[in-house]
Structure 1
């Protein structure tokens, strides 16, 4: 596992959380610490109750004294993640490693900020109180949504029509637990950094494609804090071969070619010449029509896959990474027969002297977005606990 922090106490806690149960010897070796330094760092975390040292392991050689294992028991610490879309509140209850314990999705009653805040509070209470442990193990709450977020304020979100909405204040305190608000792609990147690809890969890109398109970056184990967070800095780059038009009138940019609305519009435009029934209504309908032989839908998916490959190769090259995580509601389109050109287009302009790109496809489920929101609360809780117990 990579070292997430320069601060040694935080590095120890993060390693124990993600890799535990782990022996002291393995922990010291992985983090480059002496035995004496490790003992000094671990002792207050054990005394404070964050780390449990009661586990017993077998030596790697199979002989000798049993080893003492360190762990932050994930099941004893729960977190709620809330991901907001313009239509739905997606919620997940996770353990301290962001593994889902329960979840639910409820239709958003209104996009009025006060109504959304009230529904968030209701969702949290419902999800937690359905569990046998109730509020006892809950340590924090993370909320994410698409848009520009600073602190607890949504500076702008085109999905909700919000500007300068202090959503965190509207949600208010929840049983004195910390509540955090983040851009959804920042949260998803944190999920991959801590509990996904980041455990084994030092540098990679996370790309989301759905209602919007954007990317997050992890370099050398650290998430890059974007200056223009939430603005989708690559969503309007020009793509060779793309012909869609975005909301700003750009012809052939990523937003006008890859977003869900753009793909449905391309398919619908072809169908309108002879059918005019306003279909496809959504991505599932798009695939259903393609399976039924609708050429407009088949070609819209093919065009999407080729344009997405161009986008991934372009952004990875600029970011100087060779691994890309693909997530978002449109990613399942790549599993259809009409998206077979994705892999070919991905290597079409590849420099043979450079390593090949590796694309890691995720499910595209909104449950992952909610778990990403929970991951922000997990990291905040861990940092706070270490600071308290130094």
Structure 2
């Protein structure tokens, strides 16, 4: 076990203080009055929460003697001091680990990629610990401590317990990931589903900033969905909220690895596209890249497979809009490389599925690299550090 890197306790001891800090993190710099309006709190509550955070260096007041109200109260903007603390974010894929060193504002300072040949828990955890150690060494050059690690993994993840219950792509079951990584690194560890982690980053800093209700749909190796309802990322009672990849949109469709037929993932995930292109064209494409290339060349069978995938995704997005009334649905993931092949079908199926004013939901694409997914993992570590769950 590595020596403890000097973990601090964040000086915000109430939910209101965490809410104020999160408001400044997402929308700052803001004056105290602006912060009070955005957070829905009284000016005295803002003053009480801000003072210890400024004293501890987590917030900075940009002083300007001329920026005062007629009553002489300070009207200086307050902002988060990003350089005050560092966090590590780890995204585990099917064949590599992406690690980032991020500051308190979740800006990526350093990024590293490590490939592995075995997805077995022991090998991946050893590589993860080594990567964290490498990033801790890099952090020494910034002169501040790393205060936590976030790890993002696909599948059914129990964040509260720090356990990966089931990750189909890694073939992991009941791995106490937070405990193991924490023992290996000496740091507090937050483990979450990778799409939910990315949703946190999009809520704070991305295409969901300022929205109280939105969904993030990811397309690629799997079909994932992160949900924000009334300003909070939804996990559900059992931690699997948002699994639109396992909505059955065609009961007579292909068998899904979950055991059901016609799931969105069984029609539109990368492996499903490869299988569909092989079956439809008779051409034994090796992977998603070759399937995409065949469709790009205009093969009608391959293009039809992508069209069916777009229709399945569009119906799923329509279901989300109908159930939750989301203001926006953000589509991301590595599968966006094929977006132009199924964009029309997504829009048509969404329009046909959305009921009434749910059709007003803004459907927006947002390409994001895997480093951004690791940044999402770092955002969950920041969440845990500041005591925020939204």
Query: Of residues 289, 293, 299 in structure 1, which corresponds to 2:298?
Result: 293
Range that drifts further, 350-359 or 70-79: 350-359
Task: Say yes or no: does 1:27 pair with 2:35.
Answer: yes
2:221 match: 211
After TM superposition, give the deviation of residue 307 of structure 1 in Å.
1.5
Range that drifts further, 141-150 or 236-245: 236-245
Q: In the TM superposition, what are the counterparts of 1:100-179 in structure 2 within 5 Å?
A: 100-130=108-138, 133=141, 136-150=144-158, 151-173=161-183, 176-179=186-189
2:386 match: 382
Deviations 1:341-387 (A, max 9, x none): 32222212444455512112121421221111111011111228xxx
Query: Of residues 310, 313, 321 in structure 2, which corresponds to 1:305?
Result: 310
After TM superposition, give the deviation of residue 312 of structure 1 in Å.
0.7
Contact 1:90 1:105 (C-alpha < 8 Å) held by counterparts:
yes
After TM superposition, give the deviation of residue 119 of structure 1 in Å.
0.4
**Cα-Cα RMSD:** 2.9
After TM superposition, give the deviation of residue 327 of structure 1 in Å.
2.0
- Mapped partners of 2:139, 2:49: distance in 1: 35
| Cα separation, partners in 2 of 1:107 and 1:242, compared to 1, 3 Å | farther
| Cα separation, partners in 2 of 1:231 and 1:344, compared to 1, 3 Å | closer
Task: Say yes or no: does 1:327 pair with 2:332.
Answer: yes
| Cα separation, partners in 2 of 1:237 and 1:19, compared to 1, 3 Å | closer
Deviations 1:277-325 (A, max 9, x none): x21412x322222222322222221221122111111122122324212
Q: How many residues align?
A: 373
Range that drifts further, 336-345 or 257-266: 336-345
Range that drifts further, 223-232 or 110-119: 223-232
After TM superposition, give the deviation of residue 142 of structure 1 in Å.
0.4
Note the residue ranges of structure 2 that are not aligned, 5 or more in a row: 1-12
Range that drifts further, 250-259 or 371-380: 250-259
- Mapped partners of 1:353, 1:42: distance in 2: 41
After TM superposition, give the deviation of residue 137 of structure 1 in Å.
4.0
Range that drifts further, 161-170 or 140-149: 161-170
Deviations 1:202-240 (A, max 9, x none): 101122222222322211111223123248643332215
Deviations 1:323-346 (A, max 9, x none): 212222213321x24543322222
After TM superposition, give the deviation of residue 265 of structure 1 in Å.
0.7
Note the residue ranges of structure 1 that are not aligned, 5 or more in a row: 385-390
2:232 match: 222
After TM superposition, give the deviation of residue 170 of structure 1 in Å.
2.6
Q: Classify the secondary structure of the residue corresponding to 2:147.
A: strand
Q: In the TM superposition, what are the counterparts of 1:1-390 in structure 2 within 5 Å?
A: 7-56=15-64, 59=67, 67-130=75-138, 133=141, 136-150=144-158, 151-173=161-183, 176-230=186-240, 233-240=243-250, 243-248=253-258, 250-272=260-282, 275=283, 278-282=284-288, 284-334=289-339, 336-337=340-341, 339-383=343-387
Deviations 1:106-148 (A, max 9, x none): 2124222222111011112323434672573422210010122
Contact 1:332 1:364 (C-alpha < 8 Å) held by counterparts:
no
- Mapped partners of 1:333, 1:193: distance in 2: 25
| Cα separation, partners in 2 of 1:49 and 1:348, compared to 1, 3 Å | same
Q: Classify the secondary structure of the residue corresponding to 1:200.
A: coil
| Cα separation, partners in 2 of 1:354 and 1:366, compared to 1, 3 Å | closer
- Mapped partners of 1:292, 1:55: distance in 2: 60
Contact 1:268 1:280 (C-alpha < 8 Å) held by counterparts:
no
Contact 1:290 1:297 (C-alpha < 8 Å) held by counterparts:
yes
Contact 1:81 1:371 (C-alpha < 8 Å) held by counterparts:
yes
| Cα separation, partners in 2 of 1:352 and 1:146, compared to 1, 3 Å | closer
- Mapped partners of 1:348, 1:6: distance in 2: 46
